[in-house]
Structure 1
Amino acid sequence: MSDLHPAPRIQRADFGDPALAAFLQAHLDDLAPTAPAESRHALAVDLLQAPGVRLWVALEGTMIIGTGALAAMQVGHEEVKSMRTEPRCRGRGVARRLLEHLVRDARQRDVGQLSLETGSHDFFASARGLYAAAGFQLCPPFGSYREDPNSVFMTKHL
């Protein structure tokens, strides 16, 4: 990140913050045109508050510029969810920093594997590149996912 854009502050999400609900709704709205409903797997705000889900925000001042979550699937295996960067802040390393934070958190808690589902369309190309650069590799569907031409599955052993 350049000096013009210092590293964002990353902290656990405050579900009482109306800006968080708006940011997460914008995430769902961004994804709506990318695939049919049955192929969209983003979590709504109520599911992000479920036990076993840890959501973080990246902040620039008081503005939310990114989100990322980990959702427990089974002991030692968690799923990366709700990765989103504010469109005006894309290309500045926000998602990379969030992903590094998620990996660090998982390692500190002795999670041995992180997996994720992302889209197969051009809209998701930079996300797939980010995950590959962070050491995630293509894998078959995991958990309750099934093969889907709209989905790409990736995993990383920690």
Structure 2
Amino acid sequence: MSEIVLRPATVGDPAVRELIELHLRDMHRLSPPESVHARGADALDDPAVELWGAWDGAALAGVGALMRLDPDRGELKSMRVADGYRGRGIGRRILRRLIARARGLGMSSLWLETGSAPAFAPARALYLSEGFAFCDPFGEYVLDPHSVFLTREV
């Protein structure tokens, strides 16, 4: 593995689109349809969303998105590390980049929704280790036994 480089990404990049769509398919496999809140590639192609990629040379190792909810708050969306790169700290690097980017954009807090099933335990552990805390649903989310909600100040 060469040095991982984090840089802005676009859904026009076939590797980015493919990883996002794989993420969306997995979310539908792990949760009932009404509990899937991941966005597909086209939904991430939005001026309110910044998409970041982690690159190992020409290979995409992971993606993450920061969506502006309002002038003060952002939401993390579509965090995904490619299967061959899991367990190498790439998700943490992407998360830290998104937190720093939110801070740089003047946001005061970040929010996210993730799954409650055992398959989501590594994601929950990552977020908690980076200062996120469980919270009530935010925005248009509602209580759902398949979802948990987290937030942190930036």
TM-score (norm 2): 0.96
Partner of 2:84: 88
For 1:26-105, what aligned pairs fall within 5 Å after superposition?
A: 26-105=22-101
Q: Is residue 52–residue 64 contact of structure 2 (8 Å, CA) maintained in 1?
A: yes
Partner of 1:147: 143
For residues 71-123 of structure 1, give each alpha carbon's deviation from its aligned partner in whole angstroms, at most 9, with x where no partner exists: 11111101000100011111000000000000010111110000000000011
Runs of 4+ in 1 over 4 A off after TM superposition: none
Give the Cα separation in 2 of the matches to 1:109 and 1:21.
25
Question: Aligned match of 1:112 in 108, 113, 123?
Answer: 108
- SS of the residue corresponding to residue 154 of structure 1 reads strand
How far apart are 1:32 and its partner, in Å? 1.5
Unmatched runs of 5 consecutive residues or more in structure 2: none
Partner of 2:152: 156
Aligned residue type for 2:5:
R
CA-based RMSD of the aligned residues comes to 1.0
For residues 40-90 of structure 1, give each alpha carbon's deviation from its aligned partner in whole angstroms, at most 9, with x where no partner exists: 000111110112100001011111110001111111101000100011111
Give the Cα separation in 2 of the matches to 1:15 and 1:117.
21
1:25 aligns with 2:9: no
Give the Cα separation in 2 of the matches to 1:91 and 1:7.
16
Give the Cα separation in 1 of the matches to 2:21 and 2:78.
11
Count of matched residue positions in the alignment of Structure 1 and Structure 2: 154
Partner of 1:122: 118
How far apart are 1:6 and its partner, in Å? 4.9
Aligned residue type for 2:89:
G
Give the Cα separation in 2 of the matches to 1:119 and 1:91.
19
- SS of the residue corresponding to residue 96 of structure 1 reads helix
